[in-house]
Amino acid sequence: MGDKAVKTISDEMKIDELETEDPEIKITREKKTILGYNCKKAIITDADGNEMGYWFTEEIQTISTDKSAVTSKLPRLALEYSVDPDGLIMTFTATSVDQKLDSKSKTKKFSFDIPEEYEEMTYEYFSSFVGM
């Protein structure tokens, strides 16, 4: 799809209160390296039977404040995941990981500004496109 960005507020991303069933997580024996990190594959199946593949590394610890997020159920940080809405497989892969934070780069690393070269789309459009 090219370089796209979604600017949203947390109220738009709330999960339907009826969706309280925890997803099923199966850690497979598959392994691969992403950005020099050893990763394992997890297959997450939601209540509707939809499967998503996540490649996560145990080498990077994460803190998830959103306990309803699927990735909060993974043992550690996901560096790649794939979704298959309506037969269109989309894969999202980390292109860099920087675990260091110095006072000079805090603003740059945590900027929510959308780069000029990205096309902005609404969360509603994005979620309907990827089946969220």
Give dist(CA 120, CA 107) in Å, integer. Answer: 21
Task: Please state the domain count of the chain.
Answer: 1
- Residue-wise pLDDT for 64-94, tens only, equals 656 666 677 787 889 999 988 777 888 999 9
b (16+ CB within 10 A) / e for 81-96: bebeeeeeeeeeeeee
Give dist(CA 121, CA 108) in Å, integer. Answer: 22
User: What average pLDDT score do residues 91-103 get?
Assistant: 78
Any domain includes 125: yes
Any domain includes 67: yes
Give dist(CA 85, CA 3) in Å, integer. Answer: 19
Give dist(CA 37, CA 87) in Å, integer. Answer: 29
Determine the structural domain holding residue 90 and report its residue range. 4-10+22-96+106-130
Cβ proximity of 51 and 44 under 8 Å = yes
What pTM does this model have? 0.60
**Phi/psi class of residue 18: alpha, beta or left (left: φ > 0; alpha: ψ in -120 to 50)?**
alpha
Any domain includes 17: no
- Give the pLDDT confidence score for residue 89 in this predicted structure: 85
- Give the pLDDT confidence score for residue 114 in this predicted structure: 80
Taken in order 47, 49, 50, 54, the sign of the CA dihedral is: positive
- Residue-wise pLDDT for 52-65, tens only, equals 899 999 998 776 65
